[in-house]
Amino acid sequence: MLIHLSDCQCEGLAVPDWSIQSGESWCVFGRNGSGKQLIDQLLVGDIVPYQGVVKRALDPEQIALISFERQQATYEEEWRLAATDIIPEDEWGTRVAEFLPADRLHDPLIDQLNMRHRLQAFYRELSTGESRKLMVLKALLTEAELLICDNPFDSLDQGTVEALSEAFRLATGSGVAVILLLSNRSDIPEWVAQFAHVESGLLTVFAGSRDAQLAQLEATIGTGAIVQPGIPEDAIRLEAYDAPYIAELNQCTVRYGDRNVLDALTVKVAPLQHTLVTGENGAGKSTLLGLITGDCMQCFSNDVTVFGHRRGSGESVWDIKRQLGLVSNDLHRRYTVRCDVLSVVCSGFFDSIGLYDSPTEPQIRLGREWLRAVDMANQAETPFQALSYGEQRLVLIARAMVKSPLLLVLDEPTQGLDELNRERILGFMSAIEAREHSTLLFVSHRQDEFLPLFKQHIHLTLNI
């Protein structure tokens, strides 16, 4: 036995009885805000129960946690490192290879997860999906005895999902215990044998055959009532627009080091031409969006026109940002300012991270309406950092939509969301199409998010 929890009571979580054995494969299913993220903290020892017993037959270094929160912590540490005199000015922090055991750099698993070409890249150069793969590689190559993975398949392309799932399956066959904390039933692999469910902070462990446990899980989850999204009445339609394109990129090339992330790419997005962007991890999807939003500085050395203004022609960055709403992994990583949820939403009016201007009463009212639309109204005064990752994502979506932007850029917006909240956000997109509220530019890896409303599909390939 690796870990045994008995009558454990923590703030926000109760675990009556749970044993984890070597080689076991677990799915712990829970929705956003259910207490699911507290389970990994309890297992690794980050929180200590005020009642009950936790027995561990593992040293801390034998337990690996893979989560968006851990990715965020690593990202912040790399920024802190770059801001000191510890590393030379021409260095960007820690290289990928330095995260892995030096004697395992020829392991075929690196090739299976398509990370060989990124070993000399700096951590901060990685996409969200690539940094997720690095965490998995580090856990497997350091031969952890217990892997705890919070929604591990989010932000990964389909080929990587299959390779990662197979790597987990093989790990259990070699005696490693794997616990998948999942929020979408469609993500449950066929090789998982044991199931549990967490709701309102209570963990229920199922027993019996795999089919019997799945039936118990389905009965416990139920169908759930999907609250149909409503767009607040203050939301405006996409008004008469005198430029032929919302965004136009002509033969754009973006190069980092000795690698072309984008190579002579031409993209045009017309008003209400809702566009889906797909591609492998590291293929340049977020870079493409950065050229449009201005977050990629190479937009000024390329032929990029947004809202009829050529980048670098003297246009005001803020004039462009005022007409643009954004949800992205990078924004989520950078939103570390401590403020309450309503302030985060209202910061969307000012395109700021944190709220430094006083919003008007109409802006506050509209902010509260958007929080109600994403079912987060009762969290308006809650500190943003106190929310789960998925709940934070919902708040950032409300922030992007609060100002009725001409262009709504959504870079994997449903990452970290449970299946009900995913359906709610996809419903928003359909409502936006019907109301002609914004033009959508949407990045996703999930085929169940490839909606009929998309009039254009851009697929990027990986340049190695």
**Dist CA 437 CA 406 (whole Å):** 8
Report pLDDT for 448: 86
Strands 303-306, 247-256: pairing kind: antiparallel
Report pLDDT for 25: 97
| 181 within domain boundaries | yes
| 186-199: average pLDDT | 96
Does 181 or 88 have the greater pLDDT score? 181
Same domain, 12 and 93: yes
Q: Could you tell me the residue range of the domain that residue 15 belongs to? A: 3-221
**Dist CA 14 CA 67 (whole Å):** 21
Torsions phi, psi for 115 (to 5 deg) = -120, 5
**Model confidence at 236: pLDDT above 80:** no
* Residue at a domain's end among 187, 204, 221: 221
Report pLDDT for 357: 85
Report pLDDT for 224: 60
**Model confidence at 85: pLDDT above 70:** no
Report pLDDT for 148: 96
Report pLDDT for 295: 85
For residue 56, the domain's CATH number is 3.40.50.300
Stretch among 73-82, 87-96, 426-435 having the lowest mean pLDDT: 87-96
Which pLDDT band, with edges at 50, 70 and 90, does 239 fall under? low
Q: How far is CA 261 from CA 90, 285, 296, 463, in A?
A: 20, 9, 12, 6
**Model confidence at 275: pLDDT above 90:** yes
Closest-CA residue to 161 (of 444, 456, 386, 373): 444
Same domain, 319 and 383: yes
Which pLDDT band, with edges at 50, 70 and 90, does 226 fall under? low
Same domain, 271 and 195: no
Task: Count each helix (H run) and each strand (E run) in the chain, helices first.
Answer: 13, 18
| 233 within domain boundaries | no
Q: In this structure, are residues 426 and 451 in contact, taking their beta carbons and an 8 Å threshold? A: yes
**Dist CA 158 CA 377 (whole Å):** 34
**Model confidence at 313: pLDDT above 80:** no
Same domain, 369 and 426: yes
Total tally of structural domains belonging to the chain: 2
| 276-284: average pLDDT | 91
**Model confidence at 228: pLDDT above 70:** no
Phi-psi region of 30 (alpha: psi -120 to 50; beta: other; left: phi over 0): beta
Same domain, 311 and 360: yes
In this prediction the pTM is 0.86
Report pLDDT for 223: 64
Closest-CA residue to 323 (of 393, 428, 239, 395): 239
Report pLDDT for 274: 96
| 230 within domain boundaries | no
Report pLDDT for 80: 79
| 244-256: average pLDDT | 92
pLDDT, averaged across the chain: 88
Q: In this structure, are residues 280 and 116 in contact, taking their beta carbons and an 8 Å threshold? A: no
Report pLDDT for 305: 92
Top mean-pLDDT range of 62-76, 127-141, 204-218:
204-218
| 238 within domain boundaries | no
Does 430 or 317 have the greater pLDDT score? 430
pLDDT in tens, 336-385: 888 999 999 999 999 889 998 889 999 999 999 999 888 899 999 999 99
pLDDT in tens, 95-133: 999 999 999 999 999 998 989 989 998 898 888 888 989
**Dist CA 116 CA 110 (whole Å):** 6
Closest-CA residue to 278 (of 103, 451, 51): 451
| 421-430: average pLDDT | 85
Same domain, 312 and 423: yes
Same domain, 201 and 259: no
Which pLDDT band, with edges at 50, 70 and 90, does 33 fall under? confident
DSSP letters spanning 360-381: PHHHHHHHHHHHHHTT-GGGTT
Does 390 or 211 have the greater pLDDT score? 211
